[in-house]
Amino acid sequence: MRPSASFTLLLHLLPFLSTCFSSEEYEFRALLSVRSSINDPLDALSSWSNSTPSFCNWHGITCDDHSTSHVSIVRLSGKNLSGSLPSVLFTLPFIHTLDLSSNGFSGGIPPEAFSNLSSSLRHLNLTNNHLSGPIPLRPDGRDKIINSSLEILDLSNNYLTGETPDEISNNFPRLKVLDLGGNSLRGRIPSSISQLRTLEFLTLASNELVGRIPPELGEITTLQFIYVGYNNLTGEIPPEIGNLTALKHLDLVYNNLTGAIPGSVGNLHKLRYLFLYQNSLSGPIPPSIYNLTALISLDLSENDLTGEISEEVIKLENLEILQLFSNRFEGAIPRSIAALPRLQVLQLWSNRLSGDIPADLGRRNNLTVLDLSSNNLTGGVPEHLCYSRRLVKLILFSNFLEGEIPSGLSRCRSLERVRIENNRLSGELPPEFTKLPLVYYLDVSGNGFSGRIDGRSWEMPALQMLSLARNDLTGPLPDSFGSENIKNLDLSENQFSGGIPAGLGRFSELARLTLSKNQLSGPIPEPIAECKKLVSLDVSKNHLSGEIPAGLSDLPVLTELDLSENRFSGEIPQDLGKTGSLVFVNLSHNHFHGSLPATGVFLSVNASSIAGNPGLCGGTARSGLPPCTAAVEKKPRRFSVTVLMVGLLILLLSVLLLLLILRRRREHIYLKKVEINGNGVWEVRVFDEKASKAITADTLLTSIKEGTVAVPDGAGDGMLFAVRNTTDIPSIGWAEVTDMGRFRHRNVVGLAGACRSETRWVLIYEPVEGGRSLSVALRELSWEKRCRVAVSIARALHCLHRRGMLLHGNLTAGNNVVLDGDGVARLLINVFPSGLEEGKRELAEEESDVYSFGVLLVMLLTGRCHVDAEAGKHGGVVEWARYCYSERHLDTWIDPVMRGQLAEYQDEMIRAMELAVRCTSVDPLQRPCMKEVVKVLVKSVEKPGSWVSKIKRALPI
């Protein structure tokens, strides 16, 4: 009997069906094992259980369309899962998409996950986890194809280490997307990547890669996106890049690339984004770049490019963002820029551009951000900059612009930030210019504006910072500026007259009020004391009179008070000395009389801060005031005798104590006098016998160099000689020097002795074996070593402050910090005040040491000294770093030497800069104490590095 046709078909399908059923059972058990092996705090996998036998209905699981119902997709992104990667998911026989991104998986990628990778897998996404270790592709598998179907491999934003595997191209030959960015991969970019002939998207950004960009990349003609920024790549951009005619996005930023931009880049006609900023590229912009008509954003900023910006820029008709700042471009801004129809952001600041700003700029554009600051531009401010009514930020400071503010700009109600300071603008402020509703920052200082500002309408409800300083404005001050949110008001160096308006007391957010160098008269109005957030009040060099309002003593955060060179009279309120936040006061050249308060800031006030008040008396010896006299009441004889007896007893005890001290000093201090021809007689005090034998007339002669720290060859047994001139410092006694000589700390270079003549002091430090100044050694120090330097010096300062001692010096150039032969940072303490903070040379408080340490921290982070030519018109390096940190993308201030460590330690570097900004705060009250600094630093360096997400570049303000 012949079998039926259906039975015959069943016999043929039986082996296949058996395989399918066994596979489904395998998948079921594999998924259950996954749930039991990982942490799932959100119960995202609660449906993965025996009670729901069909795994196709489980959360995150998608099955194929066949009746066999096999797992084709596992998508568990962002479920807060953690633990080790479940390697069994990589081996599911029918899976084509595995997405475990944005979870907390840690440890290494299991080698068996790649070696047994399912042949059906096309998309593997493990981004944003905590995976570490190398990518597990074995060298002996170089010729073995692990998966010929995989198209997307995303391992970005983890903690992977080792080198980029040379075997990727052979193991996964059909890759279209390869994303290894945001890890800690080292070594070179393997040239074998060029064998991935279907690759469209390549990201190796934010690693620690070195070497050159392999020219073989030019062979992958399918590439559309290249991201290799934030590494430490060197050499030139290979001209073979020009072969990638399908390329749409080229990002090589934050490397050490040198040489010229290759002209072959002009062949990339589909290119929309070209980012080459923060390198060391030189030469002119190649003319071929202007053939890239599809460009939307062109950023060549922060390089060393030269030449002129060509009028050919008009060809870039789709350009929306043009950033060429911080280069050395010369010549005029091309007129054709004004004709780019889609231009929104134009930033050309810090170049050497000259000539006029194009008159039609803004008329045919959609400008939102315009920054042409720090150039040599002349002429007037164009009328049509805000023609589109979209301009938000206008930054033109530090040029040579002339004329008046155009009416079109004064009606620009979209503006939020305006900085046109330090130009030659003149005329009156237009009436509409003080009615801009969104402006929160307005600085027109350092110009020649004239006229009155009262009697006009101030309608600026968002205003927080207003500076009209250094102009020729006249008349009385207005009672209001249209905003109760003003935090910083600077009207100094004008010709304002009349009284200080009582309405200023309504500014509840006011922190700094500067009215100095005007012709104001009358008293300080009592309502000023209602500004409870006031930190600094400067009304110096006016014609103000009356008494100091008693309410100023109640301001809780008042730190700086300058009433000098006015006509104030009366007594200084005794409660003013009880204002704990007050650290700087200048009451000089007024008509105050009576007793100087004997508390608070007045205990350390300098004579120059109270000079010119003949009626004042009292204070400490430092104040230079005569003692106050008062009528002496008659006391009973018995009381007088008691007082006399107690006085004699105290005198006797004092003499005994003095003898004891002198005896102990003789045990430890060696005294000698040395007469040096032409340099007078020097008194020498040495704190140890070794130094006493080393100090001779010859060593003094060879070491006395004004204002230097010398290390003589063999002289003084290698001791360091620091020289200062007493004409620049107040009187210093031997007591302070001796205290320094007895102070010992692991991170402080001990003071071995000191010499004094009639005109000079010389400090003699203990030898530092193998010592080098920090400024010399800095370029060789890794981030970890710089952290150790910061912690060491912070601990030394904290210990000094606990002993009631102040550094009095500065750390700005790194010469007061020495690294010994073991790399240990040691501080050269200095008893001589060195006013680092401009305008506060009298200030000798812990806050000044904290400021000095903040400058050192900036130096460690940026590699720049306190006064650095590259800081340009931003002033010192502190102002430059704060400008870069707050106004632009965060990574501009990092020392290029440490770029290779940026991926691993970015968070720590940012926290350190935040601490440096706090330490150098203009308001001393906002600075942390050294105890807190040590705590923050130690906590920061103990936290492991992280790179949670790719760096996204923010536009400058």
Beta strands 519-522 and 495-498 are parallel
Please enumerate in sequence order all residues whose Cβ is within 8 A of that of 4, keeping only pairs 6 or more positions apart, or say none. none
For residue 355, give both structure tokens: 């000539």
What are the backbone dihedrals phi and psi of residue 96, each rounded to the nearest 5 degrees, phi first?
-120, -15
Q: Average of pLDDT values for 307-321? A: 96
Q: Which has the higher per-residue pLDDT, 865 or 866?
A: 865
Burial label for 876, CB within 10 Å (0-12, 13-18, 19+), is buried
Give per-residue pLDDT as tens, 770-781: 677 787 788 788
Q: Mean of the pLDDT values across residues 601-614? A: 88
- Cα–Cα distance, 788 to 793 (Å, whole number): 9
**Distance, C-alpha 749 to centroid of its chain:** 30
Instruction: Count CB atoms within 10 A of the CB of residue 551.
Output: 18
Domains of the chain: 18-235 (3.80.10.10), 499-631 (3.80.10.10), 646-767 (3.30.200), 771-957 (1.10.510.10)
Question: Residue 514's pLDDT is what?
Answer: 96
Against a cut of 0.75, is the pTM above it? Answer: no
In the chain, pLDDT over 90 holds for what percent of residues? 52
Model pLDDT for residues 612-629, shown as the tens digit of each residue: 999 999 888 888 889 988
Q: Average pLDDT for residues 196-217, to the nearest whole number? A: 95
Q: Which whole-number Å values give the CA distances from 672 to 637, 687, 692, 886, in the listed order?
A: 50, 12, 9, 55
Angstrom CA distances, 745 to 750, 825, 829, stand at 8, 11, 11
What type of residue is 418?
V
Q: What pLDDT is recorded for position 945?
A: 37
Secondary structure, 3-state, 460-529? CCCCCEEECCCCEEEECCCCCCCCCCCCEEECCCCEEEECCCHHHHHCCCCCEEECCCCEEEECCCHHHH
Q: Give the mean pLDDT of 497-518.
A: 94
pLDDT tens-digit map of 235-290: 999 999 999 999 999 999 999 999 999 999 999 999 999 999 999 999 999 999 99
Residue 792 has pLDDT above 50, yes or no: yes
Residue 441's DSSP bridge partners are 417, 465
In the structure, what pLDDT confidence band is assigned to residue 631 with cuts at 50, 70 and 90?
very low
